[in-house]
């Protein structure tokens, strides 16, 4: 194989790559852009046919309505619950995932399978029991109740995710660390954990977004305005008087921001994970 | 002693026949200003600090007219009873009934709740409520009891008052586009046949003639709000006294078949109505992509805000025969006291306040909600142009009443009707066959 | 974890063998609800639709996620740009996905409807036919969920040691060889985990199908999860709903066992 033709082939591939990616971006963006455009329309232009592709006039009225309501409080609630859940889940998930990937112990298969089974439980069927239990122990309508349930639901996912990442790290690395005189825990924290940053970042995304968007548990385990989470707040725009599309879409756009922000922050972790990866050191 | 009084009143109430009560309602409404005695309710304080939790489908922090109206109503109560704290918790309307039942099972149901229009009967077998007797209307006269637009027997179960109407709600009226009819010089359709033909005539590439939603979404009210009165208009009841299906006959089939005709014979409605939801009906009308639809009084204000809102015309729902509109299906949201309410005294005062003429008037003026009390209609506001929509609907309700009490398994019935109607349109099956199947499944369900 | 996962499941198991009235247990029924579901003609439909939904979505979302991850991994310019934008649908909740899509394809005023109608003429109505409704539902779900495997695979690709690739390059392996012999085997675990997670997630999804199609038309998109929701929260047949949910749980176990077998089998190969 000569060098020159390969280069042109690569260039053609690059074009194809960008075309496919651009098409995917369009596919991904259209519904979100539609939400954004809708949120900027005046009320009488929201539902119109033929559809109005551009808000004319552009108005921030819908956003004003969102910020005048209790929505800001719901954003705060969702944020608090998501961060607490994330902390609990990542701690348990990375330790558990590491143990699952590295240590052999009696009944490991069973434990792993039980973990997987928890993910398999259909969420809708445990709602009523969860509600009754939360009331019995006084955790109904509290942050703690939500965090406990969310963490309980997400830790198995996190363990399974992290286990995949730990397993893709060569064992020689820790063995080397152990030979250098590290305890297993030190080896884990100093050597392995930094290597799984991409994994941690991915798990964080998974957990955070899940909590941020979760609807039916939030609906069941909260009742007061002080505790309500964003998805339930959004759902209140789908009233028995029809859907209030303008404020709903404005609230959706605001709800997307923190997650996009989180993702932008975690991108750096991906990149760091990439550059620090490998066994060169 | 109180118990004795209660019993007397209860018997007095059930003694009046349903027809009498209805006629009463009709007369008072038709006259509008004729005037049953309006009463300002006394405001005795409970005497100590108490707190009530009220579950409403309205998020009071939202700046929309409905939320603002109810917030105003509650604020009036707070001003009057500084010793009673009311915490309002918003619950999405689709989930209200199941959440109240669930909460009651955990012993944590709210003191007072506003149930959906078909919700109350569900809570009777669920045992999630307590009777209002002795707490609501302690000082009311017979005139006060007769003041309800819908008969009190509607909310009475086993001789006990289990709820009261928060508003009146006309479930289905004909919505049409005034501009389109004018343009063509057409009159408002007076029968099913006319509606089919007119709708077909107004159809364009960008606009369907008629839209209705057969989706099961929202307990299928997009369909049943029209279908129940359509059964009546065609000459059959929906259910027998014992709850068994009464719609399974030629008359019932004629009503259901009309939907099929709209799609296949008049070609005035698209087959996509099988998956259309009620929300989409509202939006379609607001967007000007439907010339006719059937919708309820509580969404008029929403549709008015759309691009074509100013061209919305409302008329009695036509029936099979010209000039004989369908009877009006009228219900309302319910105010109830849950079984877990310990502050019955305060809760009773709160419910009485929400029914008071002042509060009902606020709801009518700000939110366009027809009042649940006839005496409220005396207010001059109801004669203003602003109240035009409401007048038409109130007159329809008054002129064409029909007794109706939702069955406790209404959700199941709605589900069956929606599934059956979808099947009929999708697979072009005869309505009679579908109704027989539905009747069989319904009868089996209630005998369970 | 035990408390929030298995105890509620225990409750559900108990409910499923009782005749229930709302949340109360009335009388012991044994396995009657389980048998009823097997003979319920709608039950068969529910199972069938669930399989169409789950495996239809999987068959599209997984390859798409893999492809896009490989492409993003490959490009040098605009990596962050693509990654951020392509992740967007996944950030959107199921409810919002459903509401937005139902608007896009709304037969009266949806933009997609508008394009089809103006471009090709004739009525278009994505949700009005059984096939159209299922296709739209699957497409909306793929839109919503494919960034998940993409994100996982992308993260996994970055843990593939550069040496491995470099060594292969030195040996003159072609791009396809590098992909199939080195990259994919090294991220095999991640792909399988993504598959397991997505399968379970799809099986248990309620909100998206419920809000987008409500199970219609004529039951064409009524997956088991919707059936459970309707039985439990609209019709208050808590016992029967629990029994159907247990079937869902069993399906989840069954497919996970199959996947884990594949994982283990290949691991030893």
Summarised one tens digit per residue, pLDDT across range A4-17 is 445 555 677 788 88
Interval B331-341 mean pLDDT:
96
Among A122, A199, A256, beta carbon nearest to C225: A122
Determine the pLDDT at residue C21: 77
**Taken in order B400, B406, B407, B410, is the CA torsion positive or negative?**
positive
Say if residue A50 is preceded by a cis peptide, omega within 30 of 0. Answer: yes
pLDDT digit string, tens, across residues A138-173: 999 999 999 999 999 899 888 877 887 787 777 887
Q: Is A123 on the interface with C (CB under 8 A)?
A: yes
Dump pLDDT digits (tens) for C113-169.
Answer: 888 888 776 667 788 888 999 999 999 999 999 998 998 888 788 777 777 777 887
pLDDT at B57: 94
Residue B276 vs residue C6, higher pLDDT: B276
Q: Give the model's confidence band at B146: pLDDT under 50 very low, under 70 low, under 90 confident, else very high.
A: very high
Residues of A (55-94) whose Cβ lies below 8 Å from C: none
Would you call C253 an interface residue with chain A, using a CB distance cutoff of 8 Å?
A: yes
Over residues B313-335, the pLDDT tens digits come to: 999 999 999 989 999 999 999 99
Mutate to test the interface with A, among B51, B53, B54, B62 (most CBs of A within 10 A): B62
* Mutant choice from A12, A124, A220, A263 vs C, greatest count of C C-beta within 10 A: A124
Strands B129-130 and B160-161: unpaired
CB–CB contact B216 C230 (8 Å)? yes
> What HEC string does chain B produce?
CHHHHHHHHHHHHHHCCHHHHHHHHHHHHHHCCCCCCCCCCCCCCCCCCEEEEEEECCCCCCCCHHHHHHHHHHHHHHHHCCCEEEEEEECCHHHHHHHHHHHHHCCCCCCEEEECCCCHHHHHHHCCEECCCCCCCCCCCHHHHHCECCCHHHHEECCEECCEECCCEECCEEEEEHHHHHHHCCCCCCEHHHHHHHHHHCCECCEEEEECCCCCHHHHHHHHHHHHHHHHHHCCCCECCCCCECCCCHHHHHHHHHHHHHHHCCCCCCHHHHHCCHHHHHHHHHHCCEEEEEECHHHHHHHHCCCCHHHEEEECCCECCCCCCCCCCEECCEEEEECCCCCHHHHHHHHHHHHCHHHHHHHHHHHCCCCCEHHHHHCHHHHCHHHHHHHHHHHHHHHCCCCCCCCCCHHHHHHHHHHHHHHHHHHCCCHHHHHHHHHHHHHHHHHC
ipTM of the complex: 0.85
Token pair in block for residue C87: 């992740």
pLDDT digits (tens, 9 = 90+) for B160-174: 999 999 999 999 999
Report pLDDT for C268.
45
Question: pLDDT band at A205, cuts 50/70/90?
Answer: confident
User: Is the pLDDT assigned to residue A63 strictly greater than 90?
Assistant: yes
Is residue C228 within 8 Å of C244, Cβ to Cβ?
Answer: yes
State yes or no: pLDDT of C204 exceeds 60: yes
Mean pLDDT of A102-114: 80
Judged by CB atoms closer than 8 Å, whether chains meet at B106 and A140 is answered as yes
Q: Which long-range contacts (CB under 8 A, 24 or more apart) does B434-437 make?
A: B434/B256, B435/B247, B435/B248, B435/B249, B435/B252, B435/B253, B435/B256, B436/B248
Pairwise CB contact (< 8 Å): B102 & C23: yes
pLDDT band at A1 (very low <50, low <70, confident <90, very high): very low
The tokens for C145 are: 């969920």
Window 233-252 of A, Cβ < 8 Å to C: 234-235, 238, 243, 245, 248, 252
pTM: 0.87
Q: Among the ranges A3-17, B42-56, C50-64, which has the highest mean pLDDT value?
A: C50-64
Better pLDDT: A263 or B366: B366
Using CB atoms, which chains have 3+ pairs under 8 A with C?
Answer: A, B
Confidence at residue B18, expressed as pLDDT on a 0 to 100 scale: 42
Greatest extent of chain A over all pairs of C-alpha atoms, in Å: 75
Which chain B residues have a beta carbon less than 8 Å from that of C219?
419, 422
**Residue B90's pLDDT band (cuts 50, 70, 90):** very high
What chain C residue is nearest to A275 in terms of C-alpha separation? Answer: C158
Structural contact between residues A146 and A218, judged by C-beta atoms closer than 8 angstroms? yes
Q: How many CB atoms neighbour CB B40 within 10 A?
A: 8
pLDDT at B23 over 80: no
Q: Does B229 touch chain A (CB under 8 A)?
A: no
Q: For residue A198, give the nearest of C148, C158, C245 by CB distance.
A: C158
- How high is the mean pLDDT of chain C? 85
For range B176-185, the mean pLDDT:
94
Tell me if B353 sits within 8 A of B123, measured CB to CB. Answer: no
Q: Note the pLDDT of residue A56.
A: 80
pLDDT at C2: 64
Give the percent of chain B with pLDDT over 70: 89
Region B240-244: mean pLDDT is: 94
Asked whether B436 and C227 are in contact (CB, 8 A), the reply is: no
Q: How high is the pLDDT of residue B17? A: 44
* Greatest mean pLDDT range, A181-195, B245-259, C77-91: B245-259
The mean pLDDT value of chain B amounts to 88
Cβ atoms of residues B285 and B308 within 8 Å = yes
Out of C109, C133, C218, whose CB is closest to B284?
A: C109
Q: Is the pLDDT of residue B258 over 60?
A: yes
Nearest to A214 by CA among A65, A85, A42: A85
């Amino acid at each position: 194989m000569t060098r020159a033709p390969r280069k042109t082939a690569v260039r053609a591939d690059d074009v194809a790559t960008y075309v496919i990616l651009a098409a995917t971006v369009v596919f991904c963006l259209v519904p979100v852009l539609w939400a954004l455009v809708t949120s900027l329309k005046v009320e009488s232009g929201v539902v119109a046919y033929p559809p109005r592709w551009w808000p004319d006039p552009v108005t921030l009225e819908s956003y004003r309505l969102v910020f005048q309501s209790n929505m800001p409080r719901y954003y705060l609630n969702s944020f608090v619950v998501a961060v607490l859940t994330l902390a609990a889940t990542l701690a348990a998930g990375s330790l558990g995932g590491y143990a699952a990937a590295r240590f052999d112990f009696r009944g490991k298969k069973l434990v792993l399978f039980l973990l997987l089974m928890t993910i398999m439980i259909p969420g809708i069927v445990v709602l009523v029991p969860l509600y009754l239990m939360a009331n019995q122990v006084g955790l109904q309508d509290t942050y703690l109740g939500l965090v406990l349930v969310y963490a309980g639901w997400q830790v198995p996912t996190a363990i399974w995710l992290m286990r995949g990442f730990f397993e893709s790290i060569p064992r020689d690395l820790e063995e080397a660390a152990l030979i250098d005189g590290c305890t297993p825990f030190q080896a884990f924290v100093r050597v392995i954990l930094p290597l799984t940053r991409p994994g941690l970042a991915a798990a964080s995304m998974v957990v955070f977004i899940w909590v941020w968007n979760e609807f039916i548990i939030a609906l069941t385990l909260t009742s007061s305005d002080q505790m309500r989470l964003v998805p339930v707040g959004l759902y209140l725009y789908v009233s028995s008087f029809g859907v209030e599309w303008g404020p709903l879409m404005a609230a959706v756009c605001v709800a997307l921001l923190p997650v996009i922000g989180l993702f932008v922050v975690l991108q750096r972790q991906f990149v760091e994970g990439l550059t620090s990866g490998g066994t060169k050191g | 002693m109180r118990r004795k009084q209660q019993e007397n009143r209860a018997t007095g109430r059930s003694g009046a026949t349903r027809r009498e009560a209805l006629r009463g309602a009709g007369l008072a409404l038709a006259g509008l200003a004729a005037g049953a005695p309006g009463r300002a309710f006394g405001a005795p304080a409970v005497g100590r600090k108490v707190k009530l939790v009220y579950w409403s489908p309205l998020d009071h922090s939202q700046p929309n007219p409905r939320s603002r109206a109810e917030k105003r109503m509650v604020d009036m109560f707070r001003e009057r009873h500084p010793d009673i704290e009311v915490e309002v918790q918003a619950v999405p309307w689709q989930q209200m009934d199941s959440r109240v039942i669930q909460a009651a099972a955990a012993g944590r149901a709210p003191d007072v709740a506003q149930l959906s229009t078909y919700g109350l009967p569900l809570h009777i077998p669920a045992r999630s409520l307590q009777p209002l007797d002795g707490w609501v209307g302690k000082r009311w006269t017979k005139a006060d009891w007769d003041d309800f637009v819908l008969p009190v027997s509607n909310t009475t179960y086993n001789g006990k008052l289990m709820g009261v109407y928060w508003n009146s709600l006309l479930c289905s009226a004909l919505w049409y586009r005034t501009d389109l009819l004018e343009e063509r010089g057409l009159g408002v359709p007076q029968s099913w046949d006319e509606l089919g033909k007119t709708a077909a005539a107004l159809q364009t590439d960008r606009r369907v003639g008629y839209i209705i939603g057969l989706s099961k979404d929202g307990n299928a009210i997009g369909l049943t709000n029209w279908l129940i009165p359509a059964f009546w208009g065609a000459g059959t009841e929906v259910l027998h006294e014992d709850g068994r299906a009464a719609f399974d006959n030629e008359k019932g089939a004629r009503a259901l078949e009309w939907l099929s005709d709209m799609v296949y014979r008049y070609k005035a409605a698209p087959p996509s109505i099988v998956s259309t939801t009620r929300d989409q009906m509202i939006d379609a009308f607001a967007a000007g992509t439907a010339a006719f639809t059937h919708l309820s009084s509580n969404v008029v204000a929403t549709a008015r805000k759309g691009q074509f809102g100013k061209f919305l015309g409302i008329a009695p729902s036509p029936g099979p025969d010209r000039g004989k509109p369908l009877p009006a299906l009228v219900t309302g949201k319910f105010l109830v006291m849950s079984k877990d309410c310990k502050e019955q005294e305060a809760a009773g005062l709160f419910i009485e306040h929400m029914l008071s003429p002042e509060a009902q008037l606020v709801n009518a003026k700000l939110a366009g909600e027809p009042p649940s009390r006839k005496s409220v209609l005396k207010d001059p506001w109801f004669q203003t142009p602003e109240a035009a929509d409401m007048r038409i609907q109130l007159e329809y309700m008054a002129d064409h009443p029909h007794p109706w009490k939702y069955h406790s398994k209404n959700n199941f019935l709605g589900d069956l009707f929606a599934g059956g109607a979808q099947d009929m349109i999708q697979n072009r099956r005869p309505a009679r066959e579908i109704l027989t199947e539905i009747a069989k499944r319904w009868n089996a369900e209630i005998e369970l | 974890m035990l408390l929030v996962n298995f105890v509620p499941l225990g409750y559900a198991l108990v409910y499923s063998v009782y005749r229930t009235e709302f949340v109360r247990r009335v009388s012991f029924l044994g396995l009657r609800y389980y048998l009823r579901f097997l003979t319920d003609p709608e039950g068969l439909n529910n199972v069938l639709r669930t399989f169409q939904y789950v495996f239809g979505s999987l068959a599209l979302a997984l390859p798409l996620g893999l492809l896009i991850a490989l492409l993003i991994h490959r490009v040098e310019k605009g990596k962050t740009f693509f990654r951020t934008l392509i992740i967007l649908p996944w950030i959107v909740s199921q409810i919002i996905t459903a509401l937005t899509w139902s608007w896009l394809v709304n037969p009266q005023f949806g933009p997609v409807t508008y394009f089809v109608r103006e471009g090709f003429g004739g009525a278009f109505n994505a949700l009005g036919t059984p096939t159209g409704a299922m296709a739209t539902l699957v497409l909306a779900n793929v839109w919503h969920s494919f960034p998940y495997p993409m994100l996982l695979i992308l993260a996994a690709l970055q843990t593939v040691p550069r040496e491995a690739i470099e060594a292969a390059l030195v040996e003159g392996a072609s791009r396809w060889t590098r992909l199939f012999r080195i990259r994919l085997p090294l991220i095999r675990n991640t792909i399988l985990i993504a598959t397991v997670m997505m399968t379970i997630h799809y099986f248990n999804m309620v909100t998206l199908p419920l809000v987008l199609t409500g199970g219609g038309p004529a039951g064409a998109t009524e997956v088991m999860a919707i059936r459970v929701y309707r039985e439990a929260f609209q019709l208050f047949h808590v016992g029967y709903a629990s029994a159907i949910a247990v079937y869902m749980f069993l399906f989840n176990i069954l497919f996970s066992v199959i996947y884990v077998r594949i994982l283990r089998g290949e691991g030893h190969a």
